[in-house]
Amino acid sequence: MAFFTKWTSANVHVVLCFDVPQHLRDGLRNLLLSPSTTLDPSDPYSLHAIILGEIIKAFDASVWSIRDFVRMIEVNRHGVAQQAASFPLLHDFARHAVHASETLDVATETTKSILCQHEWFCKVPPSDTSSNVSRRTNQALRFEVQTLRNLSARSKANEARLRNEIDLAFNTITQYDSKVMVKMSEAVRRDSAAMRTIAVLTLTLLPATFVAVSEPWSFRTRHRLISGCLEALFSTSFFDFSPATKTQQESWVVSEKFWGVLGCLLNDV
């Protein structure tokens, strides 16, 4: 919104309004046409006070709408998934809060400048401006400056609370990810322990298939043990059987390293 004002000594006050919302136009029109209006054409700043009052209403609605959103986020905190999904929305409202604080700071400084100009105007008022009118306008401008300061403080509090919610959501998600990583590390550690157990059992039990049979044993016992050893041996990866296909016959391939193992086995037997 932007305003351009011109006041003449003939008590004619012209105000040009740019980009003013419809509700603010209606409010200004109602105030200016109301029988109880505080507008006094003899004081050019009395119209400024009326316009500032309507602008402050718009600022008030904006600041408290952001506050209501922040309060809703604080009350309805959910799980990690909900907080992760609300990150873009939180950042969007944080941007609006920063913009609201910026415009409030500018409006406060502008109103303070208007107040200073009015105080200078009161020192050398025109002959048709009464002291009561000037005092009433000055009080209205001072009240509006203080109201803008209060709204600015509320807007900065909204910014801080939004930053707190964003930090909380980020830290919650980070903590959850850390717990997941710890659980994954524990699962990997358990898998490693299981693999070590399997390796120990393999090294302990596999050599038992290659048994040296003593002489006093019966022929059946010797035959059974030798058969078991051979079955264990031929089930290893030293042998590869490929069934027949349309392009090649079936084949039985023996590894070149097999003969050394077979020699050790026969030597023990």
Q: Which two tokens stand for residue 36?
A: 């109880």
Say which residue the tokens 């009326």 belong to. Answer: 50
The CATH code for residues 2-187 is 1.20.58
Each domain of the chain, given as residue ranges in start order, spans 2-187, 210-268
Q: Residue 5: left if φ>0, alpha if ψ -120 to 50, beta else—which one?
A: beta
**Cβ 242 vs Cβ 250: under 8 Å:** yes
- Record the pTM: 0.60
Amino acid at 4: F
Q: What are phi and psi of 142, to 5 degrees?
A: -65, -40
Q: What are phi and psi of 245, to 5 degrees?
A: -125, -175
Q: Which two tokens stand for residue 39?
A: 């507008």
User: Taking the mean position of all CA atoms in its chain, how far away is CA 260?
Assistant: 66
Nearest of 167, 162, 152, 170 to residue 72 by alpha carbon: 162
**Cβ 269 vs Cβ 213: under 8 Å:** yes
Which segment of 90-104, 143-157, 179-193 scores lowest on mean pLDDT?
179-193
213 pLDDT tier (thresholds 50, 70, 90): very low
What is the Cα–Cα distance from 38 to 144, expressed in whole angstroms? Answer: 15
**What is the C-alpha radius of gyration for the chain, rounded to an integer number of angstroms?**
45
What is the Cα–Cα distance from 60 to 152, expressed in whole angstroms? Answer: 10
Helix, strand and coil in the chain, % to nearest 5: 70, 5, 20
Give, rounded to a whole angstrom, the gap between the first and last alpha carbons of the chain. Answer: 103
**Residue 129 DSSP label:** -
Mean pLDDT of the region 90-104: 87
At residue 215, does pLDDT exceed 50? no
Instruction: Name the percent of the chain lying above pLDDT 70.
Output: 71
Say which residue the tokens 């959501």 belong to. Answer: 169
In the prediction, which pLDDT does 80 show? 55
| Average per-residue pLDDT for the chain | 77
